[in-house]
Structure 1
Amino acid sequence: MTRESPDEAGGGSAEVPYMSLLNLPLSSDLDRIGEQMHALAQAQLRLQGLLEAVLSITGELELPAVLRRIVRTAMDLSGARYGALGVLDEEGEFLAEFIPLGLGSQELANLSGVELPRGRGLLGHLIHHPDEPLRVAEMAAHPEYVGFPSGHPPMRSLLGVAISVRDRVYGNIYLCDREDGLPFDSHDEGVILALAGTAGVAIENARLYQQERTSAEQFQRLLLPRLLDVRPFEARTIYRPAASPGHLGGDWYDAVKLPDGSCTAIIGDVVGHDLNAAAVMSQIRGMLRALSFGEATAPAHALAELDRIAHMTDERFFTTACVARIEPDGRGSWTLRWSNAGHPPPLLVLPDATTRYLDAEPGLPLGVDLTAPRPDHTRTLPGGSTLVFYTDGLVERRDEPLDQGLAALAATAARHAEGSLDELREALVADQPGDGHDDMAVLIVRTPDSLQA
């Protein structure tokens, strides 16, 4: 059946099928298609956000930073105003740690003095039912709701998901109140469940990283010498491993009080960041300590002898080192003699806070050329002078010139010139200009105020 068009009635003629008009989609169909396209776009955005979140979380290795990153990512993916991560105690019964995000400064002030939640009420429900995500549109209407402490901001909706690490529940992600005012939906739940799986892997990686770093640091410290009694001199040390997990290095320090009243200070760095470098460091440190015990041994002679012995025994290493000897000069002051084998120059800090790097002519690193001369240098020190010996990990940054790190070290030392060596040590740890990519060893030695001290 067809209908004549106006042109056809006048003798012209095209026929339009009625069914072609009936087959056009209605407005309700178009609306439904639009909603589906919008949902598909939102799903793609969520997936993209989840993939970016995975990269962000798994790229972090420090556990505190990992936990905070998990909470922030969950808030971003779900549009939640508030988020928290509760870490369970060893028994898995209560919260041992609670990391909240999203609270403003005034909200935090209102909660000052309030105990962190232990895991009762709705939080406890998730602890005791970890296999079931908890999604509540009206918390106050839930039978296990117990309310909030005084000063706590009002919260209405909740989404909670457990995080497992190695088949054990580590803790829970808690999200409250979407920014758009709507309750959390099944899409939010699905995304946060997927995030929780990634979070478990990231937490386990961070824990393994911490264990590896701790083990490497403990092993390294076993190789470092026990600092002997050097009174009336004062001495303090610092050792920090590089940030890389399982990192071993060749940095070391030593200080020895000699029978004639002088003190020998040594700092060194074997090239390499592995077990071999650590073993070579231990050998060199032992040989150099033995060589330094001779009362008449000049620093340059000790370094030359070490190089010769290593060559004779076919020990192959490339090492920088600085050996310094502080001797009484018989006139109430001290004489510093030092020799440098390619090592960063020591920093001298005088009692009046004047600083100077002892950057006299350095010799070649050990293990390079036995025939090269090793110069000794001499300087008079007043009582109360401080010498800072260090390895390059203290002052080096990959993105800055070395001079900036040296200037920062000198400034920190000058600010604490009149304080105790403990204060100076703490300041160097807090203000270290290096970026942590390399080991850091520091030896600080202070001369007595007088020879009678």
Structure 2
Amino acid sequence: MGSSGLRSGTTITSSTSRADQAFTADLESSFDELGYLVGNEPSAVLLVDLSSRGVVHANAVARQLAPGLQLPSPLDVWSDAAGLRDLEGGLLSETTHPLSRLARTEPVNGQAVSALRGSDMGQQRQPLWVVALPMLDSPMLKSYALVVMLPIGRRKEVPPATSLDLHSRAVVATGLSFTLADATDPDLPLVWVNPAFTATTGYTLEESVGRNCRFLQGAGTDPADVDRIRRAVRAGEDVTCTVLNYRKDGTAYWNQVHISPVHGPEGALTHFVGIQTDVTGRIEADRARDAALLAERRARAASEAAEERLQLLVDASSGLVGATDVADAHRRLIDLLVPRVADFALVLGPSGTDDLGVLAAQHSTEKLVGDLRDVADGLAAALVAGPPVDVLVGADGGRLLTDLDTPEGSDTRRDYIADEHYLAASAAFPVRSAVLVPLPGRGPATEVLVLGRSPDRPQFTRDDVEVAADLGRRVGVLVENTRLHELQRSNSEVLQRSLLPDLPVIRGIRSAAQYHAGAVGSQVGGDFYDLTTLADGTIALAVGDVVGHDILAAAAMGQLRGLLRACVHDPDATPSSVIARVERLLVDLQLRTIASMLQVFLTRTPDGWDLVWSCAGHPPLAVRYPDGRVELLGRTDGNDPLIGVGHPDRHEESATLPVGTLLLGYTDGLVERRTESLDLGLHRLLHHVRVGPADPAGLVEHLVEHLTRGSDHDDDIALVAVRLD
């Protein structure tokens, strides 16, 4: 088996010391600690001839500890050359040291020493644990002993060595499996194993000696690990590797193996010493920890995804609630999704005469928005036959498209596109994956949401389809609500305008009027204006406000204005009599209407205009004179009672106005704010009347623009401007 200097004709004796037997009781609980003790650090290995008490073989690390010392060498000489000391600092050659015990063929289960100089094991005074095992049961090495010096403390600082610590580490060191293989034989057969190897593997010394240690390998052993060990052994190098091995009973265990080459006196490679540790517990603990960490990461990722999904739905719901119309709702939706969820987004649906047009489009790359619209515009004509929404989203209520930038992925579009020319032309658009979901309301969906990602972004998954479909259901209802509100608003505006007159063309004056609903509530209300010419040429101007902001107020306003028209054309009518008569008619007709009103009569004179008016709780007229002065005509204290409160007498006021004067009648919504006084609102009104355009239409536009902005504007407004030319 090679190395004739170590051969012996003595018969094999299978003796095991009591110390060797003692360690087996602690072996199972110590295996994990063994792995940390040995780790990946190189160890110093000696083969000692017990008969001559001389070191005959050493590995590279041991030679570093005693550089220049020729082998064979007496054990004490080698110890002094290595500068080995005990923990008190005494030279081992002067004490009862572990090597002296070895010379008496006593096994050393583990004793702390330190080395003089640094080596591959560590720096100077490197703490070492000496394990010395006489190989009395080896068939060819009976008179020899294996000495292994294990490094301690390179990874972490070594705590003070107490007697208990020394004892526990001795048990650990004794639990290590040691093997010796003949390096002169190409098959590297084992020539000795220690009892720990037998306890760990279940194979006896007789079953192990003469065999290559590959008998520990099995189906689960990684060939890469085996190859790594094989290459190191062929090169005569140290190697540490953790491999899956199998015991004699077939059970698997993780074996941390450190193999060190040992050379003889002439430097020839003679043996390989293997130090093996069962680290199954540690590996399984690491795997359990890794599995727990993976499960925790997955749970956290799932939680974050769920939170992100919920936040997306919340943002969509809150973002679309304030939409002014359907187009605004579509814009808000795609702005929410790009680039947060997708690189581009489309809303497709009925548009004009088309069954499927582009209602909204957005791309994170602005220059691609036009190309995106071009691709989407041609989609309707390219679809297979059937309802457009059903064709696009498919039978599952949501379509997932992946690998669209490959020929195979592009082919999947033939499920809903029949036009080959369109397929070829649209294939150039940069998209890798897409999701198509419907936007259903309370009835069948008429719109489709399309989300796309470019090739440089991760593809959509089936989970993304579910999120998009959920979003589509919520958004679809919100868009439908917006559409219904928009329709209601349009109908209300039509109703309101039908109740208000078109201003007539009257010689001698220019006029303009507008009605605006408040920021909240219905588009109809009780604010009104009227302008008409009486039989004698008098011009009658009226502005009023029925209490309320709903359809009932609008209906009451229509009745009130009808009564007003009837009363103002009485030949004997005056502003005050008109208000008084309207109030009596409301009582006679049992119409419970409360309103403010300002009735004005204008009469042309050679020098200008005579103005007579009567007020029923209404804001005063605003006047801008030709020289630019502005003022309010009438009382601002609000003491004129409202119509409908039973006041029999109404007073009148009068004024003479020059040609070129501009009159403004208005309702309180133009000047009142919840957070400020009426005087401040009137002051602001006069300022804008003074700086606004001189023509009635321009002034009305100016006032609406500057006095109806902001959240405080929540009341209806009617205003009419007349220029006396």
TM-score w.r.t. length of structure 1: 0.80
Equivalence map 1:91-170=2 (5 Å)? 93-100=355-362, 102=364, 104=366, 107=367, 117-120=376-379, 128-131=391-394, 132-139=398-405, 141=407, 142-143=410-411, 144=423, 146-147=425-426, 157-170=433-446
Deviations 1:103-128 (A, max 9, x none): 55xx38x959x968414399969864
Other-structure match for 2:303: 41
**What is the correspondence of 1:31-110 to structure 2 with a 5 Å cutoff?**
31-57=293-319, 59-62=321-324, 63-75=326-338, 78=341, 80-89=342-351, 93-100=355-362, 102=364, 104=366, 107=367
Structure 1 residues not aligned, in runs of 5+: none
Distance (whole Å) between structure 2 residues aligned to residue 261 and residue 181 of structure 1 = 76
Aligned pairs for 1:169-208 (under 5 A) are 169-177=445-453, 181-208=457-484
Q: Which has the higher contact order (CA 8 A, sep 6+)?
A: 1
Once the two structures are TM-superposed, the CA of residue 196 in structure 1 deviates from its matched residue by: 0.9
Query: Does the 8 Å contact 2:330/2:359 carry over to 1?
Result: no
SS in structure 1 at match of 2:291: helix
Alpha-carbon separation, structure 2, partners of 1:268 and 1:334:
23
- Report which stretch shifted further, 340-349 or 123-132: 123-132
| Cα distance in 2 for residues equivalent to 1:44 and 1:122 | 38
Deviations 1:374-416 (A, max 9, x none): 3322222222222221222334444565556545544544444
Aligned to 2:120: none
Contact persistence 1:139–1:158 (CA under 8 A): no
Distance in 2 of aligned mates of 1:111 and 1:40: 37
Mean alpha-carbon deviation: is it higher for 189-198 or for 234-243? 234-243
Change (3 A) 1:155 1:120: same
Equivalent residue, structure 2, for 1:349 = 624
Q: 2:529 aligns with which of 233, 253, 275?
A: 253
Equivalent positions of 1:285-324 (< 5 A) are 285-294=561-570, 296-324=572-600
Choose 272-281 or 397-406, whichever is displaced more.
397-406
How far apart in 2 are the matches of 1:103 and 1:410? 49
Q: 1:354 to 1:67 in 2, by over 3 A?
A: farther
The Cα RMSD (Å) is: 4.0
Query: Measured at CA, do residues 316 and 121 of structure 1 come closer, stay the same or move farther in structure 2, by a change above 3 Å?
Result: closer
Higher alpha-carbon deviation: 207-216 or 23-32: 23-32
CA pair 146-340 structure 1, distance change in 2 beyond 3 A: same
How many aligned residue pairs are there? 436
Deviation, 1:428, is 4.1
Q: Note the C-alpha offset of 1:303.
A: 1.8
Q: What residue in structure 2 maps to residue 366 of structure 1?
A: 643
Residue type of the partner of 1:346?
A: L
Q: How far is the alpha carbon of 1:237 from its aligned partner?
A: 2.2
Q: Identity, % of aligned pairs?
A: 26
Query: How much has 1:265 moved relative to structure 2?
Result: 0.5
Matched, 1:340 2:593: no
Letter in 1 for 2:392: H
Contact residue 623 and residue 663 of structure 2 kept, 8 A: yes
Distance in 2 separating the partners of 1:262 and 1:179 = 76
2:656 — aligned with what?
380
Distance (whole Å) between structure 1 residues aligned to residue 672 and residue 331 of structure 2: 29
Inter-partner Cα distance in structure 1 for 2:475 and 2:424 = 27
**Do the aligned residues in 2 keep the contact of 1:71 with 1:101 (CA within 8 Å)?**
no
Q: Deviations over 1:209-255 (max 9, x none)?
A: 12222222323333334544433322222123345565532111111
In structure 2, what is the equivalent of residue 331 of structure 1?
A: 606
Instruction: Tell me: CA distance 1:280–1:192, structure 2 relative to 1, closer, same or farther (3 Å).
Output: same
- Retained in 1: the 8 A contact 2:519–2:715? yes
**Counterpart in 1 of 2:697?**
422
Query: Under a length normalisation based on structure 2, what TM-score does the superposition of the two structures give?
Result: 0.52
Query: Structure 2 vs 1, CA of residues 381 and 52 (structure 1 numbering), >3 Å: closer, same or farther?
Result: same
State the 1:19 CA deviation: 8.9
Instruction: Please give the residue correspondences for 1:224-235 in structure 2 after superposition, counting only pairs within 5 Å.
Output: 224-235=500-511
- Matched residue SS, 1:170: coil
Contact 2:316 2:333 in 1 (8 A): no
Write the deviation string for residues 288-336 of structure 1: whole angstroms up to 9, x where unpaired: 22222245533233223333343454432221111111112x3320122
